[in-house]
Amino acid sequence: MAQAKEVAGRTGEQADSVHAGCQMLQLEPYTAPAWAATLKGVPRQRYRLAQLPTPVHPWAVPGLPPGCELHIKRDDLTGMQLSGNKVRKLEFLLAEAREKGHDSVLTIGGIQSNHARATAVAARYLGMESHLILRNSDELLDQDPGVTGNLLVERLVGAHIWQVSTEELMRLRSKGLGDALAAQLRQRGLNPYFVALGGSSVLGVWGYLDMMRELEQQTAGQGFTDIAVACGSSGTALGIALGSRLAGPGLRVHAYCVCASLAFFYRHCDMLLAELGAAPEVLGCSAEGLLRIVQAQGEGYAKSRPEELECIAEVAAATGIILDPVYTGKALHGLVSEMAADPGAWAGRKVLFVHTGGLLGMYDKAAQLAPLVQRAGRAHRLTVPPAADGEAA
């Protein structure tokens, strides 16, 4: 294996030695977009983890209202083992972790968390241990968590899995659980860096503020009016909405939330805006005026209704693009349901759907998806000519 390669950080500052085999990674200084330069918490540097820019192209989803045009931004293609939108946040978060001398990373999520898997992969790229606090069903807490979907990738890259119950998560919250595990890890001699749920801290929001600079360059003059995206921890949606407002012309942003209440997400977004120096007296509006959050969780987080899986299957068969059942599938189902209920409201709109990834979560829904796939009747027995007399078998 090739020797570790040093890459420069900010000019004149200490260089960072990247783990052997990771020569493609670069720690580099970061300059904010001009329209975001006055915000607080501008990152000092970033790792180049993502494959950017991600494509934007038309998306012929069935059943769109007349006069409505839909495109898709393929942030499922950021790379790093299908890590989707989380990579953009982790570029900044892990740069800070390394700058502050941390040797390991811990984060929290559901048992099939895309964010937890992305964090584990990014940490291993940089030669850091990862510790994942994952919420699971009470009856499964004392069992091996298995290797389905995201868990397989996490465990292959050496992540440590720490299972907790819903009650424990509700009682201690993310910070309480993170503090408890961090204390245990420090007793072992580690110096862990805590990554907030979904990477949705102030620093994580910069991943999608920066994405709006990328989108500016890709879509200038194309007349987009709306952006739609799934919302699970609010950092991605808020970065898009704030970037859209600051960069202009201020597209209408629809965030389809897949867990918790609208009030919770608006409160969390207002808190992040205040920390960014974009409180209402500065920005001119609160989070509620900045983006439109729509309830799309259905039966609950990671629980799939038949109509949501039908939407995923129909779109995959029609366009070749596969959504995930926890985030993007619910978001698109919410969007097309709104369009069907009031097609006139979407007439003349040009909408960009941000695909945030999550493909591996599909394996957790295989039993529910199987009948939808099988009923299409596309599995056949090929009839072949019989072997001729004397022909070798």
First to last CA, the chain: 46
**Bridge partners (DSSP) listed for residue 132:** 107, 161
Cα gap 248→10, rounded to integer Å: 30
Retrieve residue 191's tokens: 């110096």
3 state DSSP class of 300: coil
Where do we find the tokens 């991605």? 236
Ordered per-residue pLDDT tens for the chain, 393 residues? 333 333 333 333 333 333 333 445 888 999 999 999 999 999 999 999 999 999 999 999 999 999 999 999 999 999 998 899 999 999 999 999 999 999 999 999 999 999 999 999 999 999 999 999 999 999 999 999 999 999 999 999 999 999 999 999 999 999 999 999 999 999 999 999 999 999 999 999 999 999 999 999 999 999 999 999 999 999 999 999 999 999 987 899 999 999 989 999 999 999 999 999 999 999 999 999 999 999 999 999 999 999 999 999 999 999 999 999 999 999 999 999 999 999 999 999 999 999 999 999 899 999 999 999 999 999 999 999 998 877 765
Catalytic residue among 113, 130, 200, 201: 113
Q: What are the φ/ψ torsions at residue 171 (nearest 5 degrees)?
A: -75, -45
In this prediction, residue 24 carries a pLDDT of 56
3 state DSSP class of 11: coil
DSSP assignment letter at 306: H
Retrieve residue 52's tokens: 């950017």
Domains of the chain listed by start with CATH number: 49-83+201-374 (3.40.50.1100), 91-199 (3.40.50.1100)
In this prediction, residue 60 carries a pLDDT of 97
Crossing angle of helices 235-247/262-275, nearest 10°? 60
Residue 57: count other Cβ atoms within 10 Å of its Cβ: 9
Cα gap 50→197, rounded to integer Å: 20
Retrieve residue 386's tokens: 């019989």
User: Is residue 113 annotated as a catalytic residue, yes or no?
Assistant: yes
Residue 71: count other Cβ atoms within 10 Å of its Cβ: 16
Instruction: Count how many Cα atoms sit within 13 Å of the Cα of residue 120 in the half-sphere of its side chain.
Output: 26
Cα gap 83→89, rounded to integer Å: 11
